[in-house]
Amino acid sequence: MPAGKKKTVVCIEDDSEIIDLLRLVLQDSDVNLVGALGGLVGLETVRQLHPDLVLLDLMMPDVHGWEVYRRMKADEQLRDIPVIVVTALASRAERTFGLHVAKVDDYITKPFTPAELRRSVANVLAESESAANAPANADKL
């Protein structure tokens, strides 16, 4: 990621230790990670900050991650924010649903390596920036 303005990443997770771990892993990645404990707080944080990326846990006690994702995609102000699912749900069916049905930007299963997380965040942010800078009618050429 080129040097410049730090990207804002909201991590919606019900475990504060995981948020701290993700912050530590991404500290040298030109991102400012903001933690949000749980789905409801996460949605409110995303609405307030309109981040460049959301890291989303699925298994949370207040609102399941897929419901958070559904609400984001239903909201015109939030639907274009990229989402990386970071979850312990590692089955092939869950991953396939996430990537090919729900169409999240990436799906990382816990446990993950620091390099895997950094690579995913960098790739998704780069793709998002590239899409934002593309001409509005490029798909019509």
| Structural domain containing residue 40 | 7-128
Contact 54, 82 (CB under 8 A): yes
Q: What is the DSSP letter of 100?
A: I
**Residue range 18-34: mean pLDDT, rounded:** 95
Q: How many distinct structural domains can be found in the chain?
A: 1
Q: Quick one: pLDDT at residue 44?
A: 98
User: Does residue 67 belong to any structural domain of this protein?
Assistant: yes
Q: What are phi and psi of 111, to 5 degrees?
A: -75, 150
CATH number of the domain encompassing residue 102: 3.40.50.2300
- Give the per-residue pLDDT at 41: 98
The three-state secondary structure class of 58 is: coil
pTM tops 0.85, yes or no: yes
Q: Which of 28-32, 36-40, 134-138 comes out lowest in average pLDDT? A: 134-138
Which among 97-101, 121-125, 131-135 has the top mean pLDDT? 121-125
Structure token pair of residue 12: 């919606």
Place of tokens 């749980």: 38
